[in-house]
C-alpha cells in the first residue's frame, strides 16, 4: 500500500472490523481500480518525461558533434588559410621591395 494511504475497512456495530464479504467486494474493487488508474497515469507521465530526457540527450550529443566539427575542421581550415594569405602577402611585399631597390639602383 502506498505511504499516506490507509485501508478503510468497514466497521461493525461494536467497533470491530466487520468481515468484508461479498457485500464490500465491489467497493474494494473500485478502490483498487482507482489506485491502479492513478498509478497508471503516473507511469505514463514518468515514461513521457523519460522519453523527453532521452530525446534531449540525443539532440545535445548532435549539437556537441556539430560544435566539435566547427572547432576542429572549419576553424582549423580558416586559420590555415589566414596563415597562407599572410605568408603570400609577406612574400609579395619582399618581392616588391626587391624590385623597388633594383629600380632605385638603376637610377
Q: What is the pLDDT of residues 4-62, one digit of tens each?
A: 555 555 555 555 444 555 566 677 788 889 999 999 999 999 999 999 999 999 999 99
Q: Which residues make Cβ contacts (< 8 Å) with residue 1, sequence separation at least 6? A: 7
Instruction: State residue 74's pLDDT score.
Output: 82
Residue 87 CB: number of other CB atoms within 10 A?
A: 10
Query: What single DSSP character describes residue 16?
Result: S
Q: What is the pLDDT of residues 62-106, one digit of tens each?
A: 999 888 888 888 888 889 999 999 999 999 999 988 888 888 888
Instruction: State residue 16's pLDDT score.
Output: 47
Instruction: State residue 80's pLDDT score.
Output: 93
Instruction: State residue 27's pLDDT score.
Output: 79
Predicted TM-score (pTM) of this structure: 0.47
Instruction: State residue 69's pLDDT score.
Output: 82
Amino acid at each position: 500500500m502506498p505511504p499516506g494511504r490507509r485501508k478503510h475497512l468497514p466497521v461493525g456495530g461494536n467497533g470491530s472490523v466487520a468481515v468484508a464479504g461479498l457485500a464490500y467486494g465491489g467497493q474494494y474493487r473500485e478502490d483498487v481500480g482507482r489506485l491502479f488508474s492513478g498509478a497508471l497515469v503516473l507511469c505514463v507521465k514518468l515514461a513521457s518525461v523519460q522519453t523527453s530526457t532521452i530525446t534531449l540527450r540525443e539532440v545535445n550529443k548532435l549539437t556537441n558533434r556539430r560544435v566539435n566539427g566547427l572547432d576542429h575542421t572549419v576553424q582549423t581550415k580558416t586559420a590555415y588559410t589566414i596563415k597562407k594569405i599572410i605568408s603570400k602577402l609577406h612574400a609579395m611585399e619582399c618581392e616588391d621591395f626587391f624590385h623597388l631597390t633594383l629600380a632605385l639602383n638603376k637610377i
